Amino acid sequence: MEFWDRFKNYSAVRRRQKGLPAKWMMNNTGIRQLKLKFDFTDNAAITGIDIETRNEDRRLELFSKLEELRTLLEKALGQEMKWELDFPLPNGKSISRIYVELPGKKIYNKDDWPEIFPFFYKNMLKIETFFKEYKEWIRD
């Protein structure tokens, strides 16, 4: 909880300075199955886009739409992303995930936080900005 509270404060200050709402878009994308996500694996901090739905056809449709925008999305981020149609979650559920990662970082290591905060902030700001621009095209 301490990590997320500190990151919330870190990003809220910076977002307000840019004239943006303090809160990230995250689950409020306007596309129920698509979420912008901060997360950790066992050995990396990641940020990106998750597509979560039991409707396999809808998941494939959204993933394909985003793949059509791949060049533009990666150009907006200034780096290549990982594209996984079937990304297994710890609970056994499979989602689609498009993300960038900061390897070797753990949420429980406070010494990693000074690197994770700007990584999360910088990349999610670019993903959120990109998503807002292409949201209607993705949804339709």
Q: Is the pLDDT assigned to residue 90 strictly greater than 90?
A: no
Mean pLDDT to the nearest integer, 86-99:
93
CA 60-64-70 angle, to 5 degrees, is 145
The CA radius of gyration of the chain, in Å to the nearest whole number, is: 15
Structure letter (DSSP) for residue 43: T
Measured CA to CA, the distance from residue 36 to residue 112 in angstroms comes to 22
What is the enclosing helix (H) or strand (E) of 109?
none
Q: Compute how many other C-beta atoms are within 10 angstroms of the C-beta atom of residue 31.
A: 15
pLDDT tens-digit series, residues 58-74: 999 999 999 999 999 99
Query: CB-hemisphere CA count at 13 Å for 94?
Result: 8
Note the pLDDT of residue 42.
87
Tokens (6 digits) for 47? 């940020």
Mean pLDDT of 101-111: 96
Asked if the model's pLDDT at residue 82 lies above 90, the reply is yes
Separation CA 1–CA 22 (nearest Å): 18
Query: Per the structure block, which two tokens stand in for 1?
Result: 């909880």
pTM of the entire predicted model: 0.93
Q: How confident is the model at residue 140 (pLDDT cuts 50, 70, 90)?
A: confident
